[in-house]
């Protein structure tokens, strides 16, 4: 029962998790390598937040189409 709910959640929110984990880590690494954002103390929060936002947009856009 719990395992089924977990897999249903992953299936329904896969685009969000992809954006958060994969795109967030790529954006974070690009921001760290660029050197322009050294003064931002919580850079990882912004970059992973941007990845999560992209994932949410993809999830809801897919649901609306």
Q: Which pLDDT score, from 0 to 100, does residue 62 have?
A: 77
Q: Which pLDDT score, from 0 to 100, does residue 37 have?
A: 81
- What angle in degrees, to the nearest 10, is found between the helix axes of 24-34 and 43-64? 140
Query: What residues have CB less than 8 Å from 21, skipping those under 6 apart?
Result: 51
Segments of the chain scoring below 50 in pLDDT = none
Q: Which pLDDT score, from 0 to 100, does residue 11 have?
A: 92
Q: Which pLDDT score, from 0 to 100, does residue 7 have?
A: 93
Query: What residues have CB less than 8 Å from 20, skipping those under 6 apart?
Result: 48, 51, 52, 55
Q: Which pLDDT score, from 0 to 100, does residue 57 have?
A: 95
Q: Which pLDDT score, from 0 to 100, does residue 36 have?
A: 85
């Amino acid at each position: 029962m719990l395992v089924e709910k977990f897999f249903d959640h992953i299936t329904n929110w896969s685009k969000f998790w992809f954006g958060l984990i994969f795109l967030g880590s790529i954006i974070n690494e690009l921001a760290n390598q660029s050197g322009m954002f050294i003064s931002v103390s919580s850079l990882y929060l912004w970059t992973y937040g941007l990845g999560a936002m992209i994932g949410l947009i993809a999830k809801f856009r897919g649901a609306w189409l």
